Amino acid sequence: MIDWFKTGWQALGFKSYNEYLLSDIWISKRDLLIKIRKKCEKCGSEKNLCVHHLTYENVGDEKMEDLMVLCLKCHKEIHNK
């Protein structure tokens, strides 16, 4: 049952953001988005794809516009800025 006083991954019962990222819930969302968008939205690569959160406000209840498909190289570049 969702605890409405908590938000995001906590409301879903996860102890940490990383635990959420390892969950079937996130993996299903991630895999679906990669299947739909098919390539890195920054460089166009079709290899080593992952999904980046553009905002952390809706973690656990992400909308498609909250997420961006990136290759690992571009994802690392974004986090290193």
36 phi/psi in degrees, rounded to 5: -75, -50
Q: What is the DSSP letter of 58?
A: T
pLDDT given at position 7: 66
Please give the Cα distance from 2 to 7 (Å, whole number). Answer: 9
Structure tokens at 21: 């990222």
Please give the structure tokens belonging to residue 55: 């905002």
The pLDDT value given to residue 61? 87
The three-point CA angle 55-47-45 to 5° equals: 75
> Model's pTM, two decimal places?
0.83
The 10s digit of each residue's pLDDT in 27-76 is 999 999 999 999 999 999 999 999 999 998 888 889 999 999 999 999 99
For 31, the enclosing helix (H) or strand (E) is: helix 24-37
